[in-house]
Structure 1
Amino acid sequence: MEKVVIIDGKEVSLKVNASCLRRYKMQFRRDFIADIFRLKKLDQYIVNGELKADDETIAQIDFELFSDLLWLFAKTADKTIPSPLEWEEQFVSIPLSDTLPVVLELLTVMLDSSQKK
């Protein structure tokens, strides 16, 4: 599955496929499944594609994990993007309210697909 988000005025393609698990482990040296379950619980705060959460809930978001997943999905869509830090440096900011729902949707697709097999 592939989606496009706008980050700092630029279209960024995000994609999930079977390579995501291995690419994540190779890049970040962490277990993908363990990490995504920390972020997946935020799915309940997405209403009509928008993040609807109070400040306390937002404060619990692991932004490094979120950024890692965002980079992973962008790298899966476009093999030419640089390392996570270099890639993030091209943006002034990454809008959480626009990108988090898409990241969670892609995670859901990955989890649902793997559970059906």
Structure 2
Amino acid sequence: MEKTITIDGRQVAFKSSGALPKRYKMQFGRDYFSDMLAMKSMSEEIVDGKGEMQSVNFDLFYDIAWTLAKTADSSIPDPVSWLDEFDVFPIADILPQIQELITASISSNNAKKK
């Protein structure tokens, strides 16, 4: 699954594939699925009003966005260099647009087969 969105006036492709969790672990040394659960928990706490913005690990959001972009375009540089290419990288605006790709990376195909 692939999606292109505009960030800071540039078209940026994002892609979810079977290699996404491995690429994430290779780059960041963390388990993709564990980080997804942590991110989901943080998001729910913020929505419920129980969480505080100080407790949010924004690195997870940036790291997942980079991995989705790297999966779409293998020529993009390391995460910091890639983020430096943008004057602004509004993760609060980007995350909802790539949510479907994130969900696809952890969803089961069983529902699709029925």
TM range (shorter): 0.7 to 0.9
2:81 pairs with 69, 86, 90, which one?
86
Q: d(CA) in 1 for partners of 2:48 and 2:77?
A: 32
| Structure 2 gaps, min length 5 | none
Question: Counterpart of 2:34?
Answer: 34
Q: Does the residue aligned with 2:105 lie in a helix, a strand or coil? A: helix
Rg larger for: 2
Aligned length: 110
The alpha-carbon deviation at position 114 of structure 1 amounts to: 6.1
TM-score normalised by structure 1 residue count: 0.79
Kept in 1: contact 2:2–2:72 (CA 8 A): yes
Residue 102, structure 1, aligned to residue 102, structure 2: no
Question: Counterpart of 2:3?
Answer: 3
* Cα distance, 1:114–1:66 mapped onto 2, change above 3 Å: farther
The alpha-carbon deviation at position 61 of structure 1 amounts to: 3.0
Kept in 2: contact 1:40–1:104 (CA 8 A): no
* Cα distance, 1:34–1:88 mapped onto 2, change above 3 Å: same
Q: d(CA) in 1 for partners of 2:40 and 2:80?
A: 23
TM-score normalised by structure 2 residue count: 0.81
* Cα distance, 1:44–1:113 mapped onto 2, change above 3 Å: farther
The alpha-carbon deviation at position 35 of structure 1 amounts to: 0.4
* Cα distance, 1:61–1:6 mapped onto 2, change above 3 Å: farther
The alpha-carbon deviation at position 63 of structure 1 amounts to: 1.2
Q: d(CA) in 1 for partners of 2:103 and 2:86?
A: 26
* Cα distance, 1:3–1:44 mapped onto 2, change above 3 Å: farther
The alpha-carbon deviation at position 6 of structure 1 amounts to: 1.4
Q: Percent of pairs identical after alignment?
A: 38
Question: Counterpart of 1:22?
Answer: 22
Q: d(CA) in 1 for partners of 2:73 and 2:9?
A: 18
Residue 69, structure 1, aligned to residue 64, structure 2: yes
Q: d(CA) in 2 for partners of 1:78 and 1:115?
A: 29
